[in-house]
Structure 1
């Protein structure tokens, strides 16, 4: 996915009220940017760090900027949680993901029972519901999910189990918008219920994909699949952030 227009550079002053951030632009102007990430954003918040924003030309919007990425340890980390939905949909549509590259049709935001999933794909042989999550919390070499309790995420997993039971394929797809990690895992210490539900979902046949994305001011692209480790860490030090 390429950004349609150049991003606006600045530095983070602070994030507050979850969905707002004050940013000082290069020209000294201080603006309020919308933060799409409802989680804690642990390990990807650093006041004074470089950030990039999208300028939004919508007179109905209260905030004229959307926060896209932040530089942490010399690398860009994507913080816009809407981006993964777009890049996964495009990659499935264009048959770029091994294991999900046989579908002839792909749609976004399709409902099953009382849940709306990010991508629905099908071919003549099967149909597949895919839920997409953004992951950014670094713990050692791991990136862990979630960074805050997510009852909505747990509900999606429970519905994916029912998708599988109905005879369709069900996929949980995690997009990691940072490059300084090598394994995907679960944050048992933050949301044990979510972690246990994901393990139950996998045992029921729900598939897990974890893909690392390359984050640049020009665009964000899926680059490689990461190993998935759903075991409870025996070394509690893995939880230290």
Structure 2
């Protein structure tokens, strides 16, 4: 599989999904051992966290022994861990691999914009605030966001619209992790209000693009499959 290596992971533990216990915990099996793994993704992930699905874990750093970060696909695996998605984004940004941000560098994390905390402030030819979103719901050949209603997401987009209308530069950047996708789409079925807000944001000048990353289990690499996906309404 062609792709640019973004992250090389340490020891990885193949696992099987048994059941999602709550938003942050999944029951898994590793070999014959049943145990628990942490999950850094508050989306529903119903199409991925299926019983007996193959997954991949790292050693846990908190109370739980493992951290589930990917679910197997046809050849490669989907990265569902939003912390790892953000790490991959930051590496791609620093290496100027993302066309829309090629002239920018990371200045700060967690910026207040209106009533929201937005993920990044970038500096370059101008100042740009960027909110990162995970889009790992497959909608045919597109990565969909969100997979459930999100009040926080709606509020963030409203604040980015107001920021853009007041003269600021803002962007929503999506990280998908699905083999063969050609773009990103707002999921009108999951959150119709958010869909309308994204249309409104696009008209207001909020930039929107995405990238596709995948996990290669054989080489234990997170690879950049596509750095420049369009957002399709």
Q: TM-score scaled to structure 1, two decimals?
A: 0.86
Partner of 1:116: 117
Partner of 1:83: 84
Partner of 1:222: 224
Would you say 1:39 and 2:43 are equivalent positions?
Answer: yes
Partner of 2:25: 20
Q: Deviations over 1:154-183 (max 9, x none)?
A: 111111112212322101001111113223
Contact 2:135 2:177 (8 Å CA) reproduced: yes
Secondary structure, aligned partner of 1:99: helix
Would you say 1:10 and 2:18 are equivalent positions?
Answer: no
Contact 1:10 1:23 (8 Å CA) reproduced: yes
| Shift >4 Å, 4+ stretches | none
Separation in structure 2 between the aligned mates of residue 97 and residue 207 of structure 1, nearest angstrom:
13
- 174-183 vs 217-226, which deviates more? 217-226
Separation in structure 2 between the aligned mates of residue 55 and residue 107 of structure 1, nearest angstrom:
29
Secondary structure, aligned partner of 2:158: helix
Q: Which of these residues, 47, 54, 59, is aligned with residue 58 of structure 2?
A: 54
Partner of 2:177: 177
Separation in structure 1 between the aligned mates of residue 141 and residue 165 of structure 2, nearest angstrom:
34
Contact 1:148 1:190 (8 Å CA) reproduced: yes
Higher relative contact order (CA 8 A, sep 6+): 2
Secondary structure, aligned partner of 2:201: helix
> Given the superposition, is the C-alpha separation of residues 170 and 67 from structure 1 closer, same or farther in structure 2, using an over 3 Å criterion?
same
Secondary structure, aligned partner of 1:228: coil
Q: TM-score scaled to structure 2, two decimals?
A: 0.89
Q: How far is 1:3 from its partner? A: 4.3
Aligned-residue CA RMSD (Å): 1.8
What stretches of structure 2 of length at least 5 have no aligned partner? 1-5
> Given the superposition, is the C-alpha separation of residues 75 and 91 from structure 1 closer, same or farther in structure 2, using an over 3 Å criterion?
closer
> For this pair of structures, how many residues does the alignment match?
225
Separation in structure 1 between the aligned mates of residue 163 and residue 224 of structure 2, nearest angstrom:
26
Contact 1:134 1:176 (8 Å CA) reproduced: yes
